[in-house]
């Protein structure tokens, strides 16, 4: 690699983060806008986007949310949210800050964001790099295995810090510096304003254009050394051990493959769990139905057992009555059936006569129905006879109702008389 040899150098600590309350109010304002100026995110996920950005700024104060214009590959421009700042990187026991931009695309958070390293004019992107292409686009296993809604920006920043610590994506290029301290208080959180033009799928050959600005000579944050010192030159690509490079690339490939397999296994497990939950719900419904059926059968069994006991008791009563009256029946000789039963009082005899007359009229009307269906009598004669019989049947039934009321009254009077006699004793 021609020119000055690249090296890493520590830079001052990031400046204090803005007021979290102001950040929260600003996010609530921009996400609640409607009309042409509204951000192109789904309404049902705007609250989750707000929480992701607030958590990111709380855990990484240098990454502050803002809105900027993003240009798609087809030339479309859209106003999107981004987090612009730095993430810490531990390299050779020294902590540095890598400048990045996290773009929240229109489909976020159901799809992963686009992440770019944001080099200044004093930085160069390491080539080749296993996770950063020449345009600055970052591709790590966490982005490939993004799962909604469990994945978030805080875990993404943590993974970026871990991946960059294993293989730094940027180097600062040494240049003659006539002024040893041109800016005693550099601001590592300066806004790196540029519009990325990502090439999804294939790595482009041209890096994003960065407007010429006066940046500090080092792109990194605070380290364990002094603010203006330098550590020994970082290992260069042409001086690295081929075995070490091969081992690192193999480890990265294995990690990517492992993350892909874990993602596939997770999706398969989730699908199996959904199926099991569905089957569990069906089984619970069937269990409830079976429990209700068993309870109904038990109730029916108890009812049948009670009826059986009643039938057995009645059968015993009838058998006892038959045994008692067999001798009497033999001694009586020829028995008149009509006189076999005698009413106990006048009301009972009158009730028996009315009931027998009612039933005989019912049988007569039934016989008339059969006769008119067979054509034995004319329809006019049938109507005349039915009208007369119905009238007579009505009177018998009315008399039965009056007799039943009189019997009930007599029974109540008898019970009252027995109770009064018991109290008198």
Strands 123-125 and 114-117: unpaired
Query: Do 164 and 112 meet the contact criterion of CB atoms below 8 Å apart?
Result: no
The reply to whether CATH 3.90.550.10 applies to domain 20-172 is: no
pLDDT per residue as tens digits for the range 335-356: 666 666 777 788 888 898 899 9
Angle at 332 between CA 326 and CA 334, to 5 degrees: 105
pLDDT per residue as tens digits for the range 395-420: 999 999 999 999 888 888 888 887 77
Helix 346-374 and helix 379-424: axis angle, to 10°?
A: 160
Strand boundaries in 36-180, DSSP class E: 64-71, 77-91, 94-104, 114-117, 123-125, 170-173
Residues (pLDDT < 70) of the chain are 1-18, 173-240, 329-340, 422-425
What tokens does 403 get?
């007799």
Greatest distance between any 2 Cα atoms in the chain: 151
Q: How far apart are CA 150 and CA 45, in angstroms?
A: 13
| Nearest alpha-carbon partner for 160 in 133, 144, 146, 140 | 140
Q: Write down the pTM of the prediction.
A: 0.41
Query: Do 104 and 49 meet the contact criterion of CB atoms below 8 Å apart?
Result: yes
- The domain segmentation of the chain, as residue ranges, is 20-172, 252-331, 346-423
Place of tokens 């007569």: 364
**Confidence at residue 316, expressed as pLDDT on a 0 to 100 scale:** 92
Helix 46-59 and helix 20-31: axis angle, to 10°?
A: 160
**Confidence at residue 179, expressed as pLDDT on a 0 to 100 scale:** 52
Query: Do 101 and 82 meet the contact criterion of CB atoms below 8 Å apart?
Result: yes
**Confidence at residue 7, expressed as pLDDT on a 0 to 100 scale:** 42
Q: How far apart are CA 187 and CA 13, in angstroms?
A: 8
Place of tokens 């003659």: 176
DSSP result, 330-341: HHH-S--GGGSS
Burial of 339 (0-12, 13-18, 19+ CB in 10 A): exposed
What tokens does 110 get?
């159901």
Backbone angles phi, psi at 80, to 5 degrees: -125, 165
Q: How far apart are CA 251 and CA 244, in angstroms?
A: 10
DSSP result, 344-387: SSHHHHHHHHHHHHHHHHHHHHHHHHHHHHHTSS-HHHHHHHHH
pLDDT per residue as tens digits for the range 222-240: 333 333 333 334 444 445 6
Centroid of chain to Cα 214: 52
What tokens does 414 get?
């008898």
């Amino acid at each position: 690699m021609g020119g000055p040899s690249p090296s890493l150098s520590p830079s001052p600590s990031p400046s204090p983060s803005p007021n979290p309350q102001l950040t929260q109010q600003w996010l609530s304002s921009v996400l609640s806008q409607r009309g042409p100026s509204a951000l192109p995110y789904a309404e049902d996920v705007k609250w989750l986007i707000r929480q992701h950005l607030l958590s990111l700024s709380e855990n990484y104060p240098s990454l502050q949310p803002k809105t900027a214009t993003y240009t798609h590959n087809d030339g479309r421009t859209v106003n999107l949210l981004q987090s612009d700042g730095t993430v810490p990187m531990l390299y050779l026991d020294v902590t540095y800050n890598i400048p990045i931009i996290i773009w929240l695309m229109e489909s976020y958070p159901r799809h992963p964001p686009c992440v770019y390293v944001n080099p200044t004019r004093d930085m160069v992107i390491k080539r080749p790099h296993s996770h950063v292409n020449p345009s600055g686009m970052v591709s790590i296993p966490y982005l490939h295995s993004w799962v909604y809604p469990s994945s978030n920006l805080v875990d993404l920043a943590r993974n970026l810090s871990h991946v960059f610590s294993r293989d730094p994506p940027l180097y600062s290029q040494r240049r003659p510096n006539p002024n040893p301290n041109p800016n005693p208080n550099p601001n590592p959180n300066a806004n790196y304003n540029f519009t990325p033009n990502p090439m999804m799928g294939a790595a482009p050959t041209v890096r994003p254009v960065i407007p010429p600005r006066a940046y500090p000579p080092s792109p990194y944050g605070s380290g364990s050394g002094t603010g203006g010192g330098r550590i020994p030159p970082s290992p260069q690509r042409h001086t690295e051990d081929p075995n070490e490079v091969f081992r690192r690339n193999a480890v990265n490939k294995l990690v990517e493959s492992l993350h892909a397999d874990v993602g596939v296994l997770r999706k398969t497990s989730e699908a199996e769990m959904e199926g099991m939950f569905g089957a569990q719900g069906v089984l619970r419904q069937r269990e409830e139905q079976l429990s209700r059926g068993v309870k109904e059968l038990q109730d029916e069994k108890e009812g049948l057992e009670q009826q059986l006991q009643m039938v057995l008791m009645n059968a015993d009563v009838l058998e006892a009555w038959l045994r008692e009256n067999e001798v009497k029946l033999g001694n009586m000789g020829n028995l008149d059936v009509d006189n076999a039963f005698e009413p106990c009082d006048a009301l009972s005899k009158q009730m028996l006569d009315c009931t027998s007359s009612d039933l005989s009229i019912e049988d007569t009307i039934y016989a008339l129905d059969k006769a008119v269906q067979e054509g034995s009598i004319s329809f006019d004669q049938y109507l005349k006879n039915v009208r007369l019989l119905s009238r007579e049947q009505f009177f018998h039934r009315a008399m039965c109702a009056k007799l039943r009321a009189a019997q009930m009254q007599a029974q109540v009077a008898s019970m009252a008389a027995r109770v009064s006699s018991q109290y008198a004793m």
